[in-house]
Amino acid sequence: MKIISRLRDNRINAINVLAEMSLSEYSDLVANNLGKNEFQRRRVSSSKTVYSLLKDDMRRGCVIPPLVLALTEAGQGVTGLDDIELEALIINNASRLVILDGLQRTHTIIDLLQEVARVPDNGGEFPEEDTPVRVEIYLGLNRLGILYRMLTLNTGQTPMSLRQQIEMLYLDYQDLDPGIQLVKEADNRMATKLHEYNFKDVVEGFNAYLNRDELPIDRAGLLENIRSLEKLSKENQDSDIFRKYVTTLDRFTSHAVSLAGEAQLSPEQLEDVSPFGRNTAQIFKKPQAMSGLGSALGKLIDRGVLESLDHATRVIPKIHLDDGEDFLLEINRSLTWLKNNTSKIGNAQRTFFTYYFREILNQDTDSYLDMRAAAESALRKYQDQNV
């Protein structure tokens, strides 16, 4: 290993060390750490052809883009170390290294070295000891720093999905009430039970709460959201707002499902509407409803209608419903109108649900605490404001 340079990254409060090493040195450094980064995607099997080409290129001595690692809790005092001491620090703490960018390339490097090792005499075809690779190593990153740098580095051949990026960002915020479960993309299943929710959908709702805006989060907004999380972690350590939002969501959904009972749209009713949800759980466990709830809660708190999320959870049990089937028909009629009369249907649905929850949770409206009436008045509000 040869230390080339070191720079301070003031955005994430860490030291960036650029080192040059052979492929075998790099493999020895990280081979046992491939699964240690909980944020990192696992090996991507669908890209075998791409990485097979990369392997052939490396045999010919191509220069690959720098690999990026992080070593947490090792940033203090680094500036006073000489190159030999800094190299020793990195090697001695190799078990704590995580890969920020280049996991698939790392797998390819290890595969290539294993293939070479199986051929004792490669005839000089691949002198790996002379094949250098550049490695950037961030020293002293905290959890949010790792997330931020990973998201800004995510420009490789197989980018993470936005859903996985969002899950990564909120991974620490899962201290939920007993019985509530968030299903992640890596679980390879959908949230089908009553108290289960898709993690990414819940986070969209929470983002709507933070920003008082029901429109979906995008990649730029995701990076900006790190600032919100930094503020939460510093100023709200005794108030887990994410948990309280999820609890409010679960209380409403559970109560609504209980009120509607086994009600479902009948085959005849399905001929009259394009169903957004055939039962109450399907309606309120969709991301449009979660985002509408988050946005509405934030706006009602800002206006002083609700004191807090805890206040909302105390109001929810008072919500009533006389006829579950009638409610399903009414809300699906409203959502069918949106489908037939708006161009950006998903955004229109989110705005509709924002009106819906503002109607049902605001004591100054005629639809206060009335599930069916709120569905009808929410559409009127949408039409008045947007048509």
Given strand 14-22, what is the order of strands in its sheet? 2-9, 14-22, 132-139, 67-71, 97-101
Please determine, for residue 250, whether its predicted confidence score (pLDDT) is greater than 50: yes
Helix, strand or coil, per DSSP, at residue 98: strand
Could you read off the pLDDT of 263-289 as tens digits, one per residue? Answer: 998 888 887 778 899 999 999 999 999
Q: Is 171 exposed, middle or buried (0-12, 13-18, 19+ CB in 10 A)?
A: middle
Per the CB < 8 A criterion, the answer to whether 113 and 25 are in contact is no
Strand duo 181-183 + 196-198: pairing:
parallel
Q: For residue 236, is pLDDT > 80?
A: no
Task: Of 83-87, 228-232, 284-288, give the range with the top mean pLDDT.
Answer: 284-288
Q: Which of 65-69, 91-95, 299-303 has the highest mean pLDDT?
A: 299-303
pLDDT the model gives residue 167: 57
pLDDT, average across residues 105-115 = 86
When mean pLDDT is compared across 242-246, 255-259, 331-335, the lowest value belongs to 242-246
Least confident among 52-61, 241-250, 291-300, 310-319 = 52-61
Q: Give tens-digit pLDDT for 113-148.
A: 888 877 666 555 555 556 789 999 988 876 667 666
User: Is the pLDDT assigned to residue 15 strictly greater than 50?
Assistant: yes
Which structure tokens are listed for 47? 């890209």
Mean pLDDT of 3-31: 88
State the average pLDDT over residues 216-242.
56
The confidence score (pLDDT) of residue 241 equals: 79
Question: pTM for the full model?
Answer: 0.63
Q: How many residues does the chain have?
A: 387
Least confidently predicted of 220-224, 256-260, 313-317: 220-224
For residue 238, the model assigns a pLDDT of 41
Per-domain residue ranges of the chain: 2-159, 166-386
